[in-house]
Structure 1
Amino acid sequence: MFDIIAVPVDGSDYGYESADIAIEIAQKFDSKIAAVHVLEEFSFSSYDDEEDSGDAILAKITEKANDAGVEVIEHLLTADPLRDMKFIINQTKADLVVIHAHGANNNRFVSFEENEVSDTQIGSVSERLIRTSDVPVLLVK
């Protein structure tokens, strides 16, 4: 049913949670995982530091998936995740995208009264991907 399942990961607990679900689905459908990490085009960190961090994030996903018997194709790209995620997903030739409602930059969704992420809000990258994707998107909450 799904040959390639794309899972954008940003190094947050939310991203790893999505990867776990993508791996479970991949096991059931004998699918491959396209693990995607996007390096920000404009960052205050050095490119080498960002690249090392991205490699470590993807390696963690690959190790988990390989332990589960799932093949992973890693994609470490420099782009704007908000603007380019649809294009990136299309380039992976994914049949399904598994993405969390929130990412590493979820602080704009924090409820100041409760100091936690609201269940009714989603991040900007996830929201745009849901609206524009040509393939099904599984939103993890």
Structure 2
Amino acid sequence: MPPTVVAIDRMYDTILVATDGSDPGYRAGEHAIDLAEQFDAEFHAVYVVDTRRYGGSILTGPSDVVAELEQRGEEILSDLDARSTVDVTETIREGRPHEEIGNYAEEVDADLILLGNRGLGAAGEIGSVAERVVRYVDRPVMTA
């Protein structure tokens, strides 16, 4: 008797991609788009302005660094949306990236989180944000 094959129509109902504009973040976006299309999933994208990285004094000065970083995030998320055939809910957050990614994943009840294995500052090894998301966020995570 042949083995029984069970079709999984919707393995993922809600997919979240976190991107920072790096090459690995771009790859994660491509994988997220493919999976969202394949599973007809709700698709969310988040960009986190890491306010801790730049220090409080720079962020409160006359040049509005946060606004510039948010503008960059809007451009990155708009580009992702333009490449996708699935509607993308775009969100920008401020704070510690792994915490904000985890909080947002919980808010939208994400079945899967995708993110780059290295960000803008990492060289050669898994990046600190990816490591912290894998380690501390209680959701399945895929890195690219």
What TM-score, normalized by structure 2, do the two folds share? 0.79
Residues 1:99 and 2:103 aligned together: no
Q: Return the alpha-carbon distance in structure 2 between the equivalents of residues 122 and 20 of structure 1.
A: 19
Residues 1:57 and 2:76 aligned together: yes
Deviating above 2 A after TM superposition, structure 1's stretches of 4 or more consecutive aligned residues are 42-45, 82-85
Residues 4-19 of structure 1 mapped to structure 2, 5 A cutoff: 4-19=14-29
Residue in 1 aligned with 2:91?
A: 75
8 Å contact kept, 1:39–1:51: yes
| Superposition deviation, residue 86 in structure 1 | 1.8
Note the aligned Cα RMSD (angstroms): 1.6
Q: Return the alpha-carbon distance in structure 2 between the equivalents of residues 4 and 105 of structure 1.
A: 28
Residue in 1 aligned with 2:128?
A: 124
Q: Return the alpha-carbon distance in structure 2 between the equivalents of residues 91 and 105 of structure 1.
A: 28
Closer, same or farther: CA 50–96 of 1 in aligned 2, 3 Å: same
What TM-score, normalized by structure 1, do the two folds share? 0.81
| Superposition deviation, residue 32 in structure 1 | 2.2
Q: Return the alpha-carbon distance in structure 2 between the equivalents of residues 139 and 50 of structure 1.
A: 23
Residue in 1 aligned with 2:66?
A: 47
Residues paired across the two proteins, number:
125
| Superposition deviation, residue 2 in structure 1 | 1.0
**Which has the larger share of strand?**
1
8 Å contact kept, 1:97–1:137: yes
Whichever of the two has the greater Rg, that structure is: 2
| Superposition deviation, residue 14 in structure 1 | 1.2
Question: Which sections of structure 1, spanning at least 5 residues, go unmatched?
Answer: 110-116
